[in-house]
Each structure stands twice: as C-alpha cells, then as structure tokens.
Amino acid sequence: MRERLQNKPVQNQFDISGLDLPAILATIEQEVRARFGEGEVADYIDALAKVPLDRFGMALVLRDGTIHEIGDSRDPFSIQSISKVHTLTMALDAVGEALWERVDREPSGDPFNSLLQLEYEKGIPRNPFMNAGALVVADVILSNYAKPEEALLEFMRARSGSADVGGDDVVAKSERESGFRNIATANFIRSYGNIVNDVDAVLDFYFLQCSLGMNCVDLARSVQFLSHSGFCDVSGKRVVSWELATRINSLMMTAGTYDAAGDFAFYVGLPAKSGVGGGIVAVVPHVMSLCVWYPGLDEKGNSMLGRYALHRFAQLTGLSVF
Ligand code: DON
C-alpha cells in the first residue's frame, strides 16, 4: 500500500489522436447557431441585461498547449461565478485544509444564492461555489493576502497569460446596487463569526472577482492547471499539487453548476463551473480544459446553449470522467 501511494498518478488516460476537434467544434457551432435566442440574460445585473443572444464562443486548450477555438472565442464577457474556482485555489494555497473548517464540500441542491441551509448549518456554507461559500473564501483571501485585489488580478493574468484581465467597474457597481441578497448573506454569515473582515470589504472583493472580463481562450487557459495535475503550462508554474487538482475538479463536478450539478454530471460528465455571464469552464482531466460562452441562461443560472455545447462535445468525443 505504502509503495502504491508513492507511485505517480495515472496520466494520459485518454487518447484523443483520432478526434477531428476542429470538425467537432464546427458541428457544435452550427447546432448552437440554429438555437440562438434561447434562455434569458442575467437581467438582475443591469450591465449583463444588454448582452445580445447571438453570441457563442468555445475554446479548448490541450495538454501540449494547442488551442482549438470557434465563434466569438475572443470576445470578453463577465466571468461572474467562474471566478470562484480561482479564488478557491488561492484560499487553499493560503490556508490549506483549514479552509474546510469554514466551508463544507457537499452539493447544496439549492440555488446559487440561497440562504436556506445557512441558519441550521450555523453559518457554514455547503460548498465554496455557492455564493455563501464564495463569500467565506473571499474573507479568507482578505485575511491572508496583503493586497487581495492585486493578488487576484496577478493570479488571473499569470494563469491565462493575458495581461489584459481586469475588473469592470460598471458591472461591479451594477451588481452592488442590486446585491441585496449577497449583502444579506455576508451579514448573516458574519453573525455566526464565519466572516471576520469588514463585510463591505468582503463584498467589494466578491463583486470585483465576478466583474472580471475575460474571453473563452483566456478562461480555458486559466483552468489549464486543473487538466494538467496542478501544473500551469501558461506560466510554467505548479499552482497546486496533483492531488489538490483532483479535489478541485471533484468539487466542480458536485457543486460547480449549483442545483443542476446532477444534470451536468448526467449529460456532460465533466467537472464544470458556470457563471451568470453565460460562461462555463470544464476540464477533461489529463487531456484538456475548455470554455464555452453563450449569454442566455436556464432557470438554474447556467448558460443554456453552453450546457448544450458541452453535452454535444462529450457525446461527439466520448470524453467523460465516468
Ligand atoms: O452573486 C451573484 O449574483 C453573481 N455575481 C454571480 C452569480 C453567478 O455567476 C452564479 N452562477 N451561475
């Protein structure tokens, strides 16, 4: 047993040399274009309500750095909750396993902005991807980084290889003005002592992370380390251990798409994280990272045709963690 634990983890489980990835992406784009207009934009954030429903982009980053992309893959959009993967990684880097004393690792089965479980679970959010969990993660970052906002931007720029990544003040302001539920959530958690910094500072950081503008290629590259056992080829740095990369992927599978995580596991079968800007990142462990963007959302807040595109991608390639 001991000897086994010292072995290197299995890699290259999937041989994709027989796949015509450009042709697969072209098929998906054609199918998605025929359905343009489906879903609703996130109109609770003014700035997002104006994005038209005729935008679709998709990008794949393979282990050797090859990029395949299609459609509006270089158009920046608001990454919203996709940022929760990156802030979780930063918080784990800062405090390690101690994070799990403050945030659980269970799927919630409730909407991303629900407060329901917080009272009977005494201010411990179910997982780091629902808003409550992301606010605690933001609090951990505020306590452990001297310049939290700069550290976040630096992390995003290093992972994506794009110096352009930045916050969008209009989106952040728009969200702050309508952020009654997030404000309530942060204060509620504070009342249990599971947020220790100034609530407004935690919320400002959270609204900044949600407002970051990135495109599909940037985002697929930003999670490339999760498809490469924790090593980021873009910056040439190890971001997390291979074991932690598998753990973050497992959280994306069980909670990355909120109360649709079961449906995503069923139809897509890949770890994924969505945002209400219409982006979804996904990971094929040891093979590639992906990002898809279509701004129309389903009732759970996940990109309607983004989910469809990932479903078709999994079907056409046969790639799945199951
Ligand atoms: O907290 C909010 O309401 C948003 N800024 C982020 C939510 C989000 O992206 C949920 N994802 N599907």
Which ranges constitute the DSSP H helices of 9-147?
21-33, 46-49, 83-95, 116-120, 131-144
> Which residue, judged by its Cα, is nearest atom 11 of ligand 1?
275
Mean pLDDT estimate for the chain: 94
Question: And the tokens for 258?
Answer: 């909120």
CATH number of 17-317: 3.40.710.10
* Whole-number pLDDT of residue 3: 46
For residue range 114-170, what is the model confidence (pLDDT) as tens digits? Answer: 999 999 999 999 999 999 999 999 999 999 999 999 999 999 999 999 999 999 999
In ligand 1, the atom with minimum distance to the C-alpha of 182 is 1
> Choosing from 51, 61, 73, 81, which is the catalytic residue?
81
The amino acid at residue 110 is: D
Task: Answer yes or no: is the C-beta of 276 below 6 A from any ligand 1 atom.
Answer: yes
Q: Which of 44, 82, 113, 273 has most ligand 1 atoms within 8 Å of CB, for mutation?
A: 113
Is the pTM of the predicted complex or chain greater than 0.85?
yes
Task: Answer yes or no: is the C-beta of 249 below 6 A from any ligand 1 atom.
Answer: no
> Choosing from 83, 145, 206, 273, which is the catalytic residue?
206
The verdict on whether 44 is a catalytic residue reads: no
In ligand 1, the atom with minimum distance to the C-alpha of 257 is 12
Compare 3 and 84 and report the one with higher pLDDT.
84
The verdict on whether 206 is a catalytic residue reads: yes
Residue 124 CA to ligand 1 centre (angstroms): 19
Q: Residue 8 above 80 pLDDT?
A: no
The verdict on whether 258 is a catalytic residue reads: yes
For residue range 176-210, what is the model confidence (pLDDT) as tens digits? Answer: 999 999 999 999 999 999 999 999 999 999 999 99
Domain residue ranges of the chain, discontinuous segments joined by +: 17-317
Q: What's the CA angle centered on 88, arms 118 and 50, to 5 degrees?
A: 80
Q: Are 42 and 301 in contact (CB under 8 A)?
A: yes
* Whole-number pLDDT of residue 218: 97
Q: Are 282 and 270 in contact (CB under 8 A)?
A: yes
State the angle between helix axes of 304-317 and 21-33 in degrees (0 to 180), rounded to the nearest 10.
150
Q: How far are the Cα atoms of 18, 19, 164, 316 from residue 267, in angstroms, in the given order?
A: 23, 20, 34, 12
